[in-house]
Structure 1
Amino acid sequence: MPHDPPLPDPDLARRALPRAPLPADCEVLVVGAGPAGSACATWLARAGVDVVLVDQHDFPRDKVCGDGLIPDAHAALARLGVLDAVMAQAQPIGHVRCVAPRGGQVDVAGRLAVLPRRILDHLLVRHAQAGGARLHTPVKFEGLIEDGGRVRGARLRQAGADTIHELRAGWVVLATGAAMPAMLGAGLCERRAPSGVALRAHVRNPALAGRQTTMDVVWHRALSPGYGWIFPCGGDVYNIGVGSFFKRDASTDAANLRDMFDAFTRVHAPAQALMQGGEWVSELKGAPLRCTLAGARTGRPGLLATGEAIGSTYDFTGEGIGKALETGLMAAEALLAGRAQGSAAAPADAQTLADYDARLATLKPRFSLYARANHINRYPWLADLVIWRARRSPGMRQRMSGLLNETSNPGTLISLRGMLKLFTV
């Protein structure tokens, strides 16, 4: 994006685009250098593991996303030791503004920020390199190498190469995002249809500079079963988009996202003002969403999958960066534990797979609660009710802030008991 600040350490930035030949082998091959893959590679490399990290694109590169960093992302970035670098370039935000169909709104406090993925992912992949991971881009994943019922590496094609390269690895980690070809080829995909879709653009509007300071999330009947958003990226540039979530039993109920986007600019006055006086900085792009840690197996001997490939995005909010980072760290921790128990000749496959699933299981209750809260996207009148009460109740606003900070239960907002509390909190 033209407004992006310069990236520090230009020598390291240049090393983010290596053209050296791919190695013959490594301990762990991580396929996909988004948040999940970069987090996994960083954690492993710091522990002394020989890690090769590949991605089909050079960096920096764009990624369809709302660009919002909520508290779980801040916590994961802090664990990785990259939070300060991220916040030095991010736009800090103090509140999410929740806007109901009838126009009621409430500001919910949280530790928040916005940073375009073009910058964030570049910072993360450079951080992985600084930790010792060997980055190779652009490299396309062509398939797995298997022997004796175990994954032993991957077949890769480097840009400009005439032949496929076979890279042997003790473990392969797929962090390939919401697109399913790699997961299908690996035999891990259990549901081809995504959980939802999102559409976003970056728009510059100098007249709004300094006026739009909250992360706006807007519910309206015209946007059901989803919502619209406007997130300030800093200066006079904004991320604007819409997302739609599908029923679990009917992936065919997808809304026409362009129609949703146009409706958003009609029913939400700030969106209308942004677009009427703005200029496109990045084009309107769509992408699938995979939610609720469902729809994919998490691994098999010699292979783990992580991030949005296994559904690490939340229903209801569509937030995915924080949980992608977390699941990437969990994959790395499981591999390190298995490494300590096994050996190159006899890797601890069963223990590693069981350990990884146990770590992911600690996240599943919260994903289930977000799936329940997702009813608000399908029935926008619930947003009217919740926001009406929150405007009158400091306790209710505190509970909503707790949802952002993962200290309160999102599902209780629309349970029968939660509905009754709306009138008593």
Structure 2
Amino acid sequence: MRAAQRDDADVIVVGAGPAGASTAHWCASAGLDVLLLDKAEFPRDKVCGDGLTPRAVAELARMGVDTRADDGWIRNEGLRVVAGGRSWELAWPELTTYPGYGLARSRMSLDHRLVQHAQASGAKLVERARVTGPLLDERSGRVVGVTSQPLDGRGRRDGAEQTFRAPVVVAADGVSSRFATALDITRRDDRPMGTAVRTYFRTEGTTRHEDAFMESHLELWDGEPGASNLLPGYGWIFALGDGTANVGLGSVSSTPARQSAIGHDYRALLDTWMRTSPPEWGFTAENQTGPVRGAALPMGFNRSPLYSRGTLLVGDAAGMTSPFNGEGIAYALQAGRVAGDAIAQARTRVTDDARERTLGTYAERMRADLGGYYTLGRWFVRLIEHPAIMRACVRYGLPRPVVMQFVLKLLSDCYEPRGGDWVDRVIAGLTRVVPQA
């Protein structure tokens, strides 16, 4: 696919999180020369719940990532839902499309492992390289590379700016995506936006040690439980199998403007939850092993188009987090796989028009698979951000088995797109008849 000898690679991937590492792996596996750039040096931390749904596990299996327990992975059996003073332990659905288990691993370790996997596939990683913008063809305006600033170990400028050229660039640089913004691909104001905060606690000697279930608390209060407003969102407790647990909470609003208008102090909300948690959980200051950190969660394709002028947007750069549960890793890995296939296929086309059409199939495939699902998610958020509706759902809806079946499949991001039980068929049918996001 190289347009000239001056090209440094067949494809440049900006950002080496799960979306970027997945893209780099699939492109390299297809025989392309891949340059993977990241401003950090690995291993590095990222704010996340550290839980992987069966959908994410399926993507790791496709990539050939080793997920054995003796390699630092912990399996979980399902989801424990806590609400209305009750809890339900729900095993992950038994499906042909996804495995019947989830995984947990800290992002510090997960992202490093995925980058190493991409390197083993043939991708070249350049760390401490902050991409400063796109390199454009003067005549066509098409992206033909990137400019990059080398950084030292403290994130400061370290030398002259560099230029890297490639006929295709993948923007995997996260929620802010300065690369996409430089191309005037801006965030949409009609898409949900979430906020999440999390920290870590030691769990030895507590009831939270090596829990076989990922736990979700669907009642999130902006003050003392039961005496304040019920917020749209949930808290989580995910055991990591290394003597610690990731504990956090996330809230979602139907639009960024609505989220800004609410202006909750999410760190204070987490502190309130921890102070009112049972003593046997051990969520105390003495057991806390890291600071409380927060991040924005871009949802429902909140940046478009997904392909433009030689640039594909993947993961958080395209707003691929699920509005139903704040899960983003599974979709980041999937986007990398689909992007890699489109790029590899475009390489075989002999005309510029044919290559452009083939690259454009990436956006078409992602919207065909996730567009309807994200539309349902947007409607879901609009409903639950009303406290009265959220309270009614928790009090009257969750105790009903049929509602719980829907909750499990929506919160786990796992349903059979073809076939399955009647719940699968209802969800899949709805995703096909509603407008695509």
TM-score range for the pair, normalised by the shorter chain length:
0.7 to 0.9
Cross-structure match for 1:388: 399
Q: Matched residue of 2:49: which SS?
A: coil
Deviations 1:58-91 (A, max 9, x none): 1111010000100110111111110435883122
- Equivalence map 1:170-319=2 (5 Å): 170-191=167-188, 195-208=193-206, 210=209, 212-220=211-219, 222=221, 224-248=231-255, 250-252=258-260, 253-269=262-278, 273-276=281-284, 278-319=286-327
TM-score w.r.t. the length of structure 2 is 0.81
Q: Is the 8 A contact 2:314 2:332 kept in 1?
A: yes
Which range is displaced more, 58-67 or 210-219?
Answer: 210-219
TM-score w.r.t. the length of structure 1 is 0.83
Alpha-carbon spacing, 1:278–1:90, altered in 2? closer, same or farther (3 Å): farther
Q: Matched residue of 1:176: which SS?
A: coil
Deviations 1:180-216 (A, max 9, x none): 4332123212337971111001111322164744211
Alpha-carbon spacing, 1:254–1:182, altered in 2? closer, same or farther (3 Å): farther
Cross-structure match for 1:153: 145
Alpha-carbon spacing, 1:291–1:217, altered in 2? closer, same or farther (3 Å): same
Cross-structure match for 2:72: 89
Q: Matched residue of 2:167: which SS?
A: strand
Identity of aligned residues (%): 32
Q: Matched residue of 1:128: which SS?
A: helix
Deviations 1:197-250 (A, max 9, x none): 110011113221647442111122515122111110114300000111122252
1:142 aligns with 2:148: no
**How far apart, in 2, do the equivalents of 1:24 and 1:336 lie?**
17
Aligned length in residues: 383
**How far apart, in 1, do the equivalents of 2:235 and 2:425 lie?**
19
1:103 aligns with 2:85: yes
Q: Which runs of 5+ in 1 are unaligned?
A: 1-22, 416-425
Q: Is the 8 A contact 1:24 1:168 kept in 2?
A: yes
Counterpart among 51, 67, 78 of residue 68 in structure 1: 51
Alpha-carbon spacing, 1:69–1:83, altered in 2? closer, same or farther (3 Å): farther
Q: Which runs of 5+ in 2 are unaligned?
A: 1-5, 93-100, 153-157, 223-230, 417-422, 431-437
Deviations 1:159-198 (A, max 9, x none): 2432110111111100011124332123212337971111
1:50 aligns with 2:40: no
Cross-structure match for 1:78: 61
1:120 aligns with 2:127: no
- Equivalence map 1:319-358=2 (5 Å): 319-342=327-350, 346=352, 348-358=354-364
**How far apart, in 2, do the equivalents of 1:206 and 1:251 lie?**
37
Q: Is the 8 A contact 1:27 1:170 kept in 2?
A: yes
What is the CA RMSD across the aligned residues, in angstroms? 2.6
Q: Matched residue of 1:258: which SS?
A: helix
- Quote how far apart the aligned CAs of 1:278 are: 4.7
Q: Matched residue of 1:360: which SS?
A: helix
Q: Matched residue of 2:400: which SS?
A: helix
Q: Is the 8 A contact 2:200 2:246 kept in 1?
A: yes
